[in-house]
Amino acid sequence: MRRGLRWAGPATLIAGPAVAQIEVGGRMALQGDALREITVALLIGLALLFVSGAGAILAARLRIRRREKRFPCSLSVRTEPPFGDRVRIIDLSRRGARLRIVPPPVPGTKVRIIWQDLRLDTTVVWSGEVFAGVRLHRTLPAAAMRRMLAAGPVRHAAPGMVTRPEMQA
């Protein structure tokens, strides 16, 4: 036998042995254990959706991050447009470089780096007070990179940086 409790409104609570139900407008809506199970399933689904979305975003960011090993160097270079007399390449990879450049150009600026007979077209991807990171428009040939690293004496290397091209995997 079911007991019904009337509320001030169109809903009726019907208490049963395992599951309580609410009668709303002539239709039965689940409540109690069944509602709890559905709620838990929905929350788990939302959590999985969030984790998979966060994983996709993280994977995309990691793909964008640096792929090549960096090699410390200290090369004095010129730039077009000119950004001062004392522009130096601090570290170099086949796809980018970190420059000591004052004042640093804003991200998105196209900069041509000139060293001896090399002309490297780049785009600034980040900048700070003294340094800027650039991405090369074309991959630097291995021979040109070896030549640049041999010419630029290494004063110091940050922890984790590879100091010789032979060590590159």
Contacts of 115 (CB under 8 A, 6+ apart): 75, 77, 78, 89, 148
Percent of the chain with pLDDT strictly greater than 70: 66
Average pLDDT, the chain: 76
- State the pTM of this model: 0.54
User: Do 114 and 80 meet the contact criterion of CB atoms below 8 Å apart?
Assistant: yes
Q: 71-167 in CATH: which number?
A: 2.40.10
| Rounded average pLDDT over 30-56 | 79
Q: Comparing 94 with 60, which gets the higher pLDDT? A: 94
Domain-wise residue ranges, the chain: 3-64, 71-167
Mean pLDDT to the nearest integer, 79-99: 88
Cα 131–chain centre separation: 20
Assign 108 a pLDDT band (cuts: 50, 70, 90): very high
Closest listed residue to residue 138, CA positions, set 119, 126, 121, 123 = 121
Q: Reply yes or no on whether the pLDDT at 70 is more than 70.
A: yes
The strand ranges marked E within 37-150 are: 71-80, 87-92, 96-100, 110-115, 118-127, 131-136
Predicted pLDDT of residue 124: 95
